[in-house]
């Protein structure tokens, strides 16, 4: 990622080198003017002497001093131009790099497995992608090339200073390692504090994000005060941490400034003493003080850069955490052979967390074109079965096999598998876009309105949509808040119908619609998807009874499997639930 932007940073360093070099010339011009043009106690280097001769000699310059002033201005102007170019290169490099970093982060996050999202707070992830990326950006735009610039300035200034007076240069230079060592010591001490502050900020974002998402629950249960106090407590801790951190930083910056002040003072005093003793000309003294000024502030800045590096180090680590997380194994993208055939669960066992088995030895076969109904109590593992089939969670090697058309799904590339299977999740989620866009979410570009209308018809949505004044262009609020639970479920079903995959899974997708709508949607589905393999998960016997086979899941085990009639005859769990729900005589 850094490679493609390297040239901008390289050019930036080159321009800053020119600017720094030009900055070094002006004190020399002043020195020669004071010593050789105004006074007579200096010696000019040969090339300067011959240049002055060509322009008319020292006496000419003495009567045309404005020429020297003009030279100083031109040099300053050129230096400003190079500094501008340096800044622009830096901005180009930084912004491109940061854009790529953001794109890559987003792309990587998209490819991370479900389990990763379970283990990480959304607020914290967002904080890593915004605040931490911003810290890196500040470092790149302000400080990374500053390191080169400062290094360069120090070397150049030292060169000129040594040439003017070695002893004075020693007095000035002795402070450089002091500042660097002091900064490094501080850098090491403060790293952990930055890490903690960033983590605290992540937690704060997580609380805010969770509260915004769950605002209805908070209001419904009157939890505002509790949630506010929880936020304030976290915010208190975070604020205290920053005050402490900034306290240390201020102490560091002030002591660093003091060291710089000390250096300037010593150079001024020693230089003055050398001047009084006649060991240094006034012009050379002025030039030396100018160079020392040029050196002192970059050295002070160097201290800041080093201390801020601990902060950027922490941010880089937090961003790397995301980029280093293992994405889903998408498989060979050239393998796009279409899938067909039966779905087989072969002795499948699964646990989200070690030792807590959610599924145990589940086996069944679903023939192509058949409908399977799944019935089971709350938490029986029905959704988990479907997550495994879509590889939202990976089935470990020694936990059985799931095959489609005889192929282990672990060997089927994810895009192929997921285009083959469509899953209406138990909790529908809609984007804050129009209804048409939401229904056609699986299509690229403009929604195909014919397909959208057809799907809406099958999902029993047409009437509802026609009642909205904007029809299909009705804007759905965030997460679909402006729709009722049943309307959201119907929209999710319509989404799947637009996709029209060969295998369709409805995970409790009709639970929020009334019995009548449920029946209408099912009969429309049957007509429309006659060739599709279907899996219906539901707590309602009426939803499942027409399926070719019904699987009854009990605490992760297959308790019964068979057609409606077969299961009624078995007189087991299915019959019991049937009696409660349907045959309440
Ligand atoms: N991401 C997860 N991490 C850990 N445990 C989980 C996770 N998701 C589900 N579980 C657990 O797995 C078990 C089965 O959950 P699952 O969602 O498959 O049940 P279900 O049969 O679909 O239930 P329901 O009818 O309520 O939708 C539950 O005990 C649940 O607590
Ligand atoms: Mg479920």
CB neighbour list of residue 64: distance below 8 Å, 6 or more residues apart: 56
Distance 352 CA to ligand 2 centre (A): 14
* Top mutation candidate among 384, 428, 509 for ligand 1, by most atoms within 8 Å of CB: 384
For residue 385, the ligand 1 atom closest to its alpha carbon is: 18
pLDDT reported for residue 385: 93
For residue 353, the ligand 1 atom closest to its alpha carbon is: 4
pLDDT reported for residue 431: 87
Distance 393 CA to ligand 2 centre (A): 14
Residues 210, 204: Cα–Cα separation, whole Å = 10
Closest-CA residue, ligand 1 atom 23, reads 379
Closest-CA residue, ligand 1 atom 24, reads 378
Choice among 294-298, 359-363, 498-502, 559-563 with the minimum mean pLDDT = 294-298
CATH architecture classification, 3-324? Up-down Bundle (1.20)
295-to-85, 170, 258 alpha-carbon distances in Å: 22, 13, 15
* Top mutation candidate among 362, 383, 387, 559 for ligand 1, by most atoms within 8 Å of CB: 383
For residue 508, the ligand 1 atom closest to its alpha carbon is: 27
Hey, what are 125's tokens? Answer: 């992830």
Query: Which residue is associated with the tokens 């029905």?
Result: 382
Ligand nearest to the CA of 354: 1
**Per-residue b/e over 47-83, b at no fewer than 16 CB within 10 Å?**
eeeeebeeeeebeebeeeeeebeeeeeebeeebeebb
Question: Is the confidence at residue 425, as pLDDT, over 60?
Answer: yes
Question: Is the confidence at residue 218, as pLDDT, over 90?
Answer: no
Class of domain 343-430+491-581: alpha beta
- 480: exposed, middle or buried (Cβ count in 10 Å: 0-12, 13-18, 19+): buried
Distance 512 CA to ligand 1 centre (A): 19
Distance 257 CA to ligand 1 centre (A): 60
pLDDT reported for residue 583: 63
Closest-CA residue, ligand 1 atom 26, reads 378
* Residue 326 DSSP code: P
- Structure confidence by residue, pLDDT tens digits, 333-371: 666 666 777 899 999 999 998 878 899 999 999 988 889
Ligand nearest to the CA of 538: 1
Task: State the average pLDDT over residues 321-337.
Answer: 80
Closest-CA residue, ligand 1 atom 28, reads 379
More confident residue, 294 or 136: 136
- Structure confidence by residue, pLDDT tens digits, 48-86: 778 777 777 777 777 777 888 888 899 999 999 999 999
Q: Average pLDDT over the chain, rounded to whole?
A: 85
Query: Which residue is associated with the tokens 């306290």?
Result: 247
Residues 313, 555: Cα–Cα separation, whole Å = 47
Task: State the average pLDDT over residues 390-403.
Answer: 91
* Top mutation candidate among 382, 394, 512 for ligand 1, by most atoms within 8 Å of CB: 382
Choice among 173-177, 410-414, 527-531, 563-567 with the minimum mean pLDDT = 527-531
pLDDT reported for residue 235: 92
* Top mutation candidate among 377, 379, 389 for ligand 1, by most atoms within 8 Å of CB: 379
pLDDT reported for residue 351: 92
For residue 393, the ligand 1 atom closest to its alpha carbon is: 1
pLDDT reported for residue 334: 67
More confident residue, 583 or 253: 253
For residue 380, the ligand 1 atom closest to its alpha carbon is: 21
pLDDT reported for residue 1: 66
Task: State the average pLDDT over residues 16-32.
Answer: 84
- β-strand partners of 503: 421, 533
For residue 553, the ligand 1 atom closest to its alpha carbon is: 21
Ligand nearest to the CA of 380: 1
Distance 499 CA to ligand 2 centre (A): 22
Closest-CA residue, ligand 1 atom 9, reads 384
In percent, how much of the chain has pLDDT > 70? Answer: 97
Closest-CA residue, ligand 1 atom 10, reads 352
Kindly list the domain boundaries of the chain, sorted by start residue.
3-324, 343-430+491-581
Which residues does a 6 A CB cutoff place in the pocket of ligand 1? 118, 352-353, 358, 376, 378-384, 426, 508
- Of 1-5, 334-338, 525-529, give the range with the top mean pLDDT: 525-529
549-to-74, 374, 511, 546, 578 alpha-carbon distances in Å: 89, 9, 20, 8, 15
pLDDT reported for residue 82: 93
Chain centroid offset of residue 487 CA = 33
Question: Helices marked H in 111-174 — which ranges?
Answer: 114-119, 122-127, 133-138, 145-164, 166-173
pLDDT reported for residue 433: 85
Task: State the average pLDDT over residues 401-409.
Answer: 90
Question: Is the confidence at residue 321, as pLDDT, over 90?
Answer: yes
Distance 263 CA to ligand 2 centre (A): 71
CB neighbour list of residue 485: distance below 8 Å, 6 or more residues apart: 512
Ligand nearest to the CA of 389: 1
Contact at 8 Å (CB) between 567 and 560? Answer: yes
Chain centroid offset of residue 16 CA = 31
pLDDT reported for residue 25: 86
Closest-CA residue, ligand 1 atom 18, reads 381
Choice among 102-116, 159-173, 211-225, 266-280 with the minimum mean pLDDT = 211-225
* Top mutation candidate among 113, 374, 381, 505 for ligand 1, by most atoms within 8 Å of CB: 381
Task: State the average pLDDT over residues 451-470.
Answer: 85
pLDDT reported for residue 41: 66
Query: Which residue is associated with the tokens 């890196």?
Result: 136
pTM over 0.85? The answer is no
More confident residue, 39 or 465: 465
Closest-CA residue, ligand 1 atom 5, reads 352
């Amino acid at each position: 990622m850094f490679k493609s932007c390297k040239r901008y940073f390289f050019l930036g360093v080159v321009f800053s080198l020119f600017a720094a070099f030009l900055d070094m010339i002006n004190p020399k011009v002043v020195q020669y003017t004071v010593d050789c043009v105004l006074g007579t106690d200096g010696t000019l280097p040969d090339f300067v002497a011959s240049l002055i001769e060509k322009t008319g000699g020292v006496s000419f310059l003495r009567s045309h001093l404005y020429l020297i002033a003009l030279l100083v201005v031109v040099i300053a102007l050129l230096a400003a131009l190079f500094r501008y170019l340096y800044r622009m290169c830096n901005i180009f490099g930084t912004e491109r790099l940061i854009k790529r970093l953001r794109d890559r982060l987003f792309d990587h996050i998209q490819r991370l497995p479900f389990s990763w999202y379970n283990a990480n707070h959304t607020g914290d992830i967002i904080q890593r992608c915004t605040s931490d990326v911003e810290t890196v950006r500040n470092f790149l735009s302000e400080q990374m090339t500053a390191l080169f610039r400062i290094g360069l300035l120090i070397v150049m200034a030292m060169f000129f200073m040594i040439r003017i007076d070695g002893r004075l240069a020693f007095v000035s230079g002795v402070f450089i390692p002091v500042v660097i060592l002091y900064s490094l010591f501080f850098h090491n001490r403060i790293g952990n504090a930055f890490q903690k502050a960033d983590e605290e900020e992540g937690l704060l974002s997580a609380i805010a994000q969770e509260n915004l998402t769950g605002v209805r629950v908070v209001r419904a249960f009157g939890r505002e005060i509790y949630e506010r106090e929880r936020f304030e407590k976290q915010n208190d801790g975070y604020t205290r941490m920053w005050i402490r951190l900034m306290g240390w930083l201020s102490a560091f910056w002030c002591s660093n400034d003091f060291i710089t002040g000390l250096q300037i003072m010593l150079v001024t005093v020693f230089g003055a003493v050398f001047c009084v003793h006649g060991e240094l000309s006034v012009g050379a003294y002025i030039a030396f003080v100018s160079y020392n000024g040029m050196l002192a502030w970059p050295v002070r800045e160097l201290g800041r850069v080093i201390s801020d590096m601990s902060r950027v180090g922490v941010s880089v680590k937090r961003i790397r955490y995301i980029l280093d997380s293992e994405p889903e194994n998408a498989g060979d993208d050239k393998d796009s052979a279409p899938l067909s055939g039966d779905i087989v669960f072969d002795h499948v066992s699964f646990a989200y967390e070690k030792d807590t088995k959610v599924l145990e030895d589940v086996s069944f076969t679903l023939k192509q074109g058949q409908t399977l109904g799944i019935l089971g109590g709350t938490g029986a593992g029905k959704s988990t079965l479907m997550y495994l089939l879509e590889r939202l969670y990976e089935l470990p090697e020694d936990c059985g096999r799931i095959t489609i058309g005889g192929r282990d799904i672990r060997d089927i590339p994810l895009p192929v598998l997921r285009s083959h299977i469509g899953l209406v999740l138990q909790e529908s989620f809609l984007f804050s876009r129009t209804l048409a866009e939401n229904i056609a979410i699986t299509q690229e570009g403009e929604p195909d309105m014919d397909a959208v209308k057809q799907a809406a018809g099958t999902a029993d949505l047409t009437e509802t949509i026609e009642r909205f004044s904007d029809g299909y262009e009705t804007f759905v609020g965030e997460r679909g808040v402006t729709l009722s639970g049943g309307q959201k479920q119907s929209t999710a079903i319509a989404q799947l119908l637009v996709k029209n995959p060969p295998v369709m899974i409805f995970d409790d997708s009709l639970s929020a619609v009334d019995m009548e709508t449920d029946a209408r949607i099912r009969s429309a589905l049957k007509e429309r998807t006659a060739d599709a393999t279907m899996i219906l998960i539901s707590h309602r016997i009426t939803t499942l009874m027409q399926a070719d086979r019904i699987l009854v899941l009990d605490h992760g085990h297959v308790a019964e499997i068979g057609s409606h009639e077969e299961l009624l005859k078995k007189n087991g769990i299915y019959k019991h639930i049937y009696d409660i729900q349907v045959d309440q005589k």
